[in-house]
A and B are shown apart, each in its own frame.
Chain A
């Protein structure tokens, strides 16, 4: 699959120069402004209303821009940001335990295994405190101490307590805050909100992103919208794996169709496998449920020391248990970063120490914490998580250790953006999980919420103004040929899916794809497996377009047709992920190439050859895409082998 490198571009991330701590301040000053009276002349389409989309929509509307939002659910309040449990990081240093903007920056660069831009990460750490201030001002009910000040807790990958939380439902409360800010602007007429719409095409006019085509999920009709800029805040692509912690409607189609219109897709192989999920129970399983990583603050991870030990956990004495994370990583113990915790769980299970009927689980035990703190305290901190676990598994975690196993949770890769969060397609901005920017090859816990809100509240309001003030905009109407063509392409694609009328359901293809991805593009990857994955996916995709069965009609609600459109994209994206993983012949963060590991089975980077972002350019469905490169330089944090021992 390698190619001649004649067309490869070195991408410019438009990163400001100077000391890292001054770059955002300097850049903010240097950017052009749009006069307050002129802002109402510009319009923006925001696709997706999770943390990034809702916060961007609200902030831009407050400034005076005309904003139109689109979401796939029946209300903007339901985006999957809502499911984030544990918390949001900020360098407030309220607990006086040594935190600072620099430390959050340092932890994030190191946690991402030196594959993110220093400048972006510093900016993220810098605005983190303002996010907390903003959310509190909106009425987000964060946890409080008796004296009325805000509470903090610690989280994986950090040695300070910098995580703010609202019980086990921080994402919900932050999203409802952003949603309420958005609805405030809806009431003022500055935002028009469309629900139950799915973006199916990006429309470019004279090389600039100027509109979208959406499918109305209720009527089945296609609709066109034009504007001066388009923001994609459509989340990640974890559902390529079929089983993941993502919501059922989470999909890659908006981002992927932008990729097919020329936007580069960066680092698609960087996927995060979350260590603490409820194990798979059977073939009927439709999704996996995450148990917040905050559980690792008090839970101890262990497996029996004897292979295939079938005794119930209470029958296994202390000296016959292997608390492997505490043993291997004495300084971080159960709080090692997610990729390290996940990989170690897999190593234990692959070696035959796994528990449960499937052997694909490890224990997360709260017995010591309950003894130390009392059941009431544990209930207050994790009550809703324990209840959820019991509802799903029918087991009481206050009495029996939880069983957990890793699952696909987050994708660090995404559309390539520069420092201004604009893709290589002018006027197409990408925020939140949908872009690739801040987490490198591995995201730290409680950093996704931080990034989504940083992008939406504190970055895009500045950078979009600079774009508007720097360009000229001819009037664009949805009656133009560019829109008509996009509309016809979309209609034809969905008509084709309905016409195939084969024998296998959409879900059967999706499960088959997920199986290939989990086995060969999952926690451990190697050259032979990745090559096999690519050919298997190509065969599966060819079969899909011959044999898929999509029932129902093109009008009214047709959930099978919606799913078919998304799975068609996953069948191309999965191949791109495998190709990216194949070409990145090093291990870093969540991308573990078995050929590249230290003698202690830790991920081994190859900085000489791979200290760069890989950004892929579409060349046709069955053609090999072009791999462009953005070099990463580390001027502030020294490149070292990550160690959590």
Chain B
């Protein structure tokens, strides 16, 4: 089994270590040799963890699952960037060929009041589930809806809805925002459903409820820095935030309660 590149790399890693939610935590230095450029960033972390197991150490906890860039489980601030330096790429799809031997890499968890650290690089993102539960759905029960083709959706809106629906809920937008705002995440769901006739009916109430929940959970506000868009691994656009604001204003003026 041989890769495309046989030269291995040596790296200096600075990793956030924190035992649990109550621990204060600190940066710890590790030196790692034998890193193949064909490894993914997480495979590099696996290699470090194997070394730690052998040395009786406690492994570094980090979230990951599909390793295909779609589940949204992986996170990590890598050298100050959410999911690292490659545009529109999750940490699991970032490969070590983007780094050079001898590089120092700083690895931290998402930092946000609403995302408390559980251990090391693993944070609690259940606030996102609470926001979805506040209204991120169409109120339809399982049963016998009309034939799928009875609802015609123009291709442009269908494509825009799909663009917004591509959000993987990883939280990079929150982590990269100086206000720890969740507006890109919230607006992506609001946009997807507002652009489709099935979801448009409830759009105003949905927007009001989701935004209220977002505020309540301690996420900050948007000040138009667009860092979320720059760091989103799925290329979600801030025009969704503009659409959310329109929906919110519509609701605010038309509200009956």
Identify the A interface with B (CB < 8 A): 55, 58-59, 62, 73-78, 80, 82-83, 92, 94, 130, 132-139, 141-150, 166-167, 169, 171-173, 176, 179-181, 183-184, 186-187, 193, 195, 218, 247-249, 280-287, 289-290, 357-358, 388, 391-394, 457-458, 461, 505, 507, 549, 551-553, 556-560
Contact between chains at A183 and B129 (CB < 8 Å): yes
Task: Name 21 A/B residue pairs within 8 A (Cβ), A-sorted.
Answer: A76-B129, A83-B66, A137-B138, A137-B146, A138-B138, A139-B192, A139-B196, A141-B192, A144-B158, A183-B132, A195-B126, A247-B71, A282-B1, A284-B36, A357-B4, A358-B1, A458-B142, A551-B52, A552-B59, A560-B49, A560-B59
Q: Which chain B residue lies CB-closest to A143?
A: B158
**Chain A residues, Cβ within 8 Å of B49:** 560
Which one of B9-17, B100-108, B116-124 is at the interface? B116-124
**Chain B residues, Cβ within 8 Å of A248:** 64-67
**Chain A residues, Cβ within 8 Å of B139:** 184
Contact between chains at A549 and B53 (CB < 8 Å): yes
Q: Mark B44-88, 1 if CB is under 8 A from A, else 0.
A: 001101101110111101011111111111000000000000100
Q: Mark B1-27, 1 if CB is under 8 A from A, else 0.
A: 111100000000000000110000000
**Chain B residues, Cβ within 8 Å of A287:** 67
Contact between chains at A130 and B198 (CB < 8 Å): no
Judge if B179 is at the interface, Cβ distance under 8 Å.
Answer: no
Identify the B interface with A (CB < 8 A): 1-4, 19-20, 36, 38-40, 42-43, 46-47, 49-50, 52-54, 56-59, 61, 63-73, 86, 89, 93, 95, 97, 118-120, 122, 124-126, 128-129, 132-149, 151-155, 158, 161-162, 165-166, 168-169, 192-193, 196, 198-199
**Chain B residues, Cβ within 8 Å of A559:** 59, 61
Q: What's the Cα separation between A183 and B154 when bound, in Å?
A: 28
Nearest Cβ in chain A — how far from B112, in angstroms?
14
Q: Which chain A residue lies CB-closest to B89?
A: A391
Q: If A139-B193, A150-B149, A184-B139 touch, does A284 touch B165 (CB 8 Å cutoff)? A: no
Q: What's the Cα separation between A443 and B164 when bound, in Å?
A: 32
Q: What's the Cα separation between A311 and B56 when bound, in Å?
A: 48
Q: What's the Cα separation between A43 and B219 when bound, in Å?
A: 35
**Chain A residues, Cβ within 8 Å of B69:** 388
Which of B42, B70, B141, B192 sits near A169, CB closer than 8 Å? B70
**Chain B residues, Cβ within 8 Å of A167:** 162, 166
Q: What's the Cα separation between A289 and B132 when bound, in Å?
A: 29
Beyond known contacts A74-B125, A181-B140, A286-B40: 9 more, CB 8 A cutoff: A78-B65, A78-B71, A169-B166, A172-B166, A187-B134, A247-B65, A248-B64, A284-B46, A505-B50
Nearest Cβ in chain A — how far from B86, in angstroms?
8
Which of A166, A392, A505 sits near B53, CB closer than 8 Å? A505
Nearest Cβ in chain B — how far from A460, in angstroms?
11
Contact between chains at A147 and B129 (CB < 8 Å): no
Q: What's the Cα separation between A114 and B27 when bound, in Å?
A: 58
**Chain A residues, Cβ within 8 Å of B169:** 75, 77-78
Q: What's the Cα separation between A183 and B210 when bound, in Å?
A: 13
Which of A150, A166, A247 sits near B148, CB closer than 8 Å? A150
Nearest Cβ in chain B — how far from A47, in angstroms?
17
Contact between chains at A505 and B54 (CB < 8 Å): yes
Contact between chains at B152 and A147 (CB < 8 Å): yes
Contact between chains at B137 and A181 (CB < 8 Å): yes
**Chain B residues, Cβ within 8 Å of A187:** 133-135
Q: What's the Cα separation between A507 and B52 when bound, in Å?
A: 13
Nearest Cβ in chain B — how far from A44, in angstroms?
15
Q: What's the Cα separation between A218 and B38 when bound, in Å?
A: 32
Nearest Cβ in chain A — how far from B2, in angstroms?
5
Contact between chains at B119 and A557 (CB < 8 Å): yes
Contact between chains at B140 and A75 (CB < 8 Å): no
Q: Which chain B residue lies CB-closest to A137?
A: B145
Q: What's the Cα separation between A535 and B162 when bound, in Å?
A: 51
Tell which of B1, B125, B141, B142 has the most Cβ of chain A within 10 Å: B142
**Chain B residues, Cβ within 8 Å of A139:** 137-138, 161, 192-193, 196, 198-199
Which of A181, A285, A358, A461 sits near B43, CB closer than 8 Å? A285
Contact between chains at B155 and A145 (CB < 8 Å): yes
Contact between chains at B53 and A551 (CB < 8 Å): yes
Q: What's the Cα separation between A470 and B54 when bound, in Å?
A: 55
Q: What's the Cα separation between A83 and B89 when bound, in Å?
A: 16
A-B CB contacts (within 8 Å), total count: 231
**Chain A residues, Cβ within 8 Å of B152:** 147-149
Q: What's the Cα separation between A630 and B154 when bound, in Å?
A: 50
Contact between chains at B125 and A75 (CB < 8 Å): yes
Nearest Cβ in chain A — how far from B210, in angstroms?
11
Contact between chains at B46 and A286 (CB < 8 Å): yes
Q: What's the Cα separation between A458 and B142 when bound, in Å?
A: 8
Contact between chains at A284 and B38 (CB < 8 Å): yes
Nearest Cβ in chain A — how far from B173, in angstroms?
16
Contact between chains at B145 and A134 (CB < 8 Å): yes
Q: What's the Cα separation between A170 and B133 when bound, in Å?
A: 22
**Chain B residues, Cβ within 8 Å of A173:** 162, 165
Contact between chains at B129 and A286 (CB < 8 Å): no
Nearest Cβ in chain B — how far from A78, in angstroms?
4
Q: If A58-B142, A83-B71, A388-B93 touch, does A556 touch B119 (CB 8 Å cutoff)? A: yes
Contact between chains at A551 and B58 (CB < 8 Å): yes
Tell which of A134, A144, A167, A553 has the most Cβ of chain B within 10 Å: A144
**Chain A residues, Cβ within 8 Å of B141:** 59, 62
Contact between chains at A180 and B119 (CB < 8 Å): no
Q: Which chain A residue lies CB-closest to B56?
A: A551
**Chain B residues, Cβ within 8 Å of A82:** 66, 70-71
Q: What's the Cα separation between A248 and B43 when bound, in Å?
A: 12
Q: What's the Cα separation between A286 and B93 when bound, in Å?
A: 12
Minimum-distance CB pairs A-B, first 8: A148-B152, A180-B137, A137-B145, A136-B148, A557-B119, A59-B142, A144-B158, A141-B162
Q: If A74-B73, A549-B53, A556-B20 touch, does A137 touch B65 (CB 8 Å cutoff)? A: no
Contact between chains at B73 and A73 (CB < 8 Å): yes
Contact between chains at A176 and B67 (CB < 8 Å): no
Contact between chains at A78 and B72 (CB < 8 Å): yes
Which of B3, B129, B162 sits near A75, CB closer than 8 Å? B129
Q: If A136-B148, A180-B137, A284-B38 touch, does A77 touch B72 (CB 8 Å cutoff)? A: yes
**Chain A residues, Cβ within 8 Å of B64:** 248
Q: What's the Cα separation between A402 and B127 when bound, in Å?
A: 41
Q: What's the Cα separation between A139 and B162 when bound, in Å?
A: 10
Q: What's the Cα separation between A298 and B153 when bound, in Å?
A: 27
Contact between chains at B165 and A141 (CB < 8 Å): yes
Contact between chains at B2 and A282 (CB < 8 Å): yes
Q: What's the Cα separation between A290 and B136 when bound, in Å?
A: 30
Contact between chains at A80 and B66 (CB < 8 Å): yes
Contact between chains at A74 and B166 (CB < 8 Å): no
Which of A94, A286, A394 sits near B149, CB closer than 8 Å? A94
Contact between chains at B95 and A249 (CB < 8 Å): no
Contact between chains at B42 and A286 (CB < 8 Å): yes
Contact between chains at B43 and A388 (CB < 8 Å): no
Contact between chains at A183 and B136 (CB < 8 Å): yes
**Chain B residues, Cβ within 8 Å of A393:** 4
Which of A74, A180, A283, A289 sits near B136, CB closer than 8 Å? A180
Contact between chains at A130 and B144 (CB < 8 Å): yes
